[in-house]
């Protein structure tokens, strides 16, 4: 078990439990041995998602950046926490994990979906220690106000479907057979489902908490000129596939189907606006559309995430001396 002050997580591919005082979190580390002052990538997965879904992302990142991924409290091999999994609690546990494992900044956060909310709460805790940010089809504070994907009519038409089969991930994912099985076993387990339900209960409130900080359109930007890369998935594509399959299977009333059609009619425009608003988090930002992916870019186009992270790393190296002076190791 890692102790504060040791450096066992600096070299070699390894995994194991790390005590954060109240309980253990399970950490996975891969990539080149770290040299002092070099940025590392921290993967932050989305709502109710196993970190094992990011195995292909880790493989694509590991050749050029040391990469840290962990199972949040209650998932996988991590212990459950006595605290409710609010966005603030999760960000605080990540902070404790990095300190307990003696993983100093600078950090490049690689955040998917709800991980975008969690990552920005972590930035609030350690504003000078984040070298850059990769947002992968990420939630932002206004997401549920503009596009509430939890709408009952959306669920009524599609909730009985095999999600991975309908949207094509079961055929098109980039995990190995072993990685896919581990991921599926993890998410189908009772422990995972119990923790997922706990996160769901805290999900909506986290948007209000982040919105109160007014991070978008700050002057100067939240991250100054530290690089931000926004990766947009083609979310509407997933929902259209689910809608067509649901209608074909006879799910949903005509009223529910009509409501879903109306939501989908303006989905792409609204979703794109929400995603691109996050470019305002830095004066040095860039975006790309993962054209072959819906929401789960990490499963279908991990190379796009790696390219985005490499750009952030390169930009940090070009501009990073000032950030390094600001950071406290």
Rounded-to-integer distance, Cα 169 and Cα 305, Å: 17
Nearest partner of 131 among 37, 30, 28, 5, judged by Cα: 37
Give the dihedral of Cα atoms 191, 197, 200, 206; nearest 10 deg: -60
Rounded-to-integer distance, Cα 300 and Cα 271, Å: 19
How confident is the model over 174-204, as pLDDT tens digits? 999 999 999 999 999 999 999 999 999 999 9
What Å distances lie between residue 282 and 113, 225, 325, CA to CA?
19, 5, 19
Nearest partner of 164 among 22, 299, 10, judged by Cα: 299
pTM (predicted TM-score)? 0.94
Between strands 40-44 and 24-30, the pairing is unpaired
Rounded-to-integer distance, Cα 275 and Cα 289, Å: 10
The residue behind tokens 């993983």 is 103
Domain ranges within the chain, ordered by starting residue: 14-141+181-235+272-320
Rounded-to-integer distance, Cα 133 and Cα 230, Å: 8
pLDDT for the residue 6: 53
What Å distances lie between residue 11 and 36, 65, 106, 130, 213, CA to CA?
12, 12, 16, 21, 37
What's the length of the chain?
Answer: 329
Rounded-to-integer distance, Cα 115 and Cα 49, Å: 10
Concatenate the DSSP letters of all residues of 305-317 into one string. Answer: HHHHHHHHHHHHH
pLDDT along the chain (329 residues), means of 10: 60 97 98 94 98 98 98 98 98 98 97 98 97 98 94 85 95 97 96 98 98 95 96 95 94 93 94 98 98 97 98 90 44
Rounded-to-integer distance, Cα 211 and Cα 208, Å: 5
Rounded-to-integer distance, Cα 180 and Cα 196, Å: 19
According to CATH, the topology of domain 14-141+181-235+272-320 is Rossmann fold (3.40.50)
Contact present, 188 and 75 (Cβ < 8 Å): no
The residue behind tokens 């109160």 is 212
pLDDT for the residue 319: 77
Q: Is 59 helix (H, G, I), strand (E, B) or coil?
A: helix
Question: What are residue 233's DSSP bridge partners?
Answer: 290
- Cis link prior to 161 (omega < 30° from 0)? no
Contacts of 277 (CB under 8 A, 6+ apart): 140, 142, 216
- Cis link prior to 56 (omega < 30° from 0)? no
Contacts of 30 (CB under 8 A, 6+ apart): 13, 58, 59, 61, 62, 66, 67
């Amino acid at each position: 078990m890692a102790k504060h002050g040791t450096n066992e997580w600096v070299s070699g591919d390894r995994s194991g439990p790390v005590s954060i005082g109240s309980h253990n979190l399970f950490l996975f580390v891969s990539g080149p041995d770290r040299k002092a002052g070099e940025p590392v990538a921290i993967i932050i997965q989305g709502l109710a998602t196993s970190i094992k879904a990011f195995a292909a992302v880790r493989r694509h990142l590991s050749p050029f950046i040391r990469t840290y991924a962990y199972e949040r409290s209650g998932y996988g091999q991590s212990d459950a926490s006595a605290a409710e999994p609010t966005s603030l609690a999760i960000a605080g546990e990540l902070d404790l994990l990095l300190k307990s494992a003696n993983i100093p900044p600078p950090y490049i956060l690689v955040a998917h979906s709800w991980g975008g909310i969690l990552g920005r709460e972590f930035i609030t805790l350690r504003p000078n220690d984040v070298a850059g940010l990769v947002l992968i089809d990420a939630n932002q504070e206004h997401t549920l106000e503009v596009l509430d994907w939890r709408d009952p009519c959306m669920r009524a038409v599609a909730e009985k479907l095999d999600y991975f089969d309908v949207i094509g991930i079961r055929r098109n994912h980039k995990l190995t057979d072993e990685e896919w099985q581990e991921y599926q076993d993890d998410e189908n387990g009772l422990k995972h489902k119990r923790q997922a339900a706990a996160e769901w209960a805290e999900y909506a409130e986290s948007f209000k908490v982040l919105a109160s900080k007014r991070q978008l359109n700050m002057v100067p930007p939240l991250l100054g000129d530290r690089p931000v890369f926004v990766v947009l998935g083609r979310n509407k594509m997933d929902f259209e596939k689910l809608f067509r399959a649901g209608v074909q299977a006879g799910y949903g009333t005509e009223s529910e189907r009509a409501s879903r059609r109306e939501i989908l009619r303006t989905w792409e425009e609204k979703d794109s606006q929400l995603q691109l608003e996050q470019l305002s988090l830095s004066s040095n930002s860039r975006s790309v559309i993962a054209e072959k992916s819906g929401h789960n870019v990490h499963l279908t186009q991990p190379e796009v995430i790696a390219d985005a992270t490499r750009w952030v790393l390169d930009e940090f190296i070009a501009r990073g001396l000032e950030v390094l002076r600001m950071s406290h190791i």
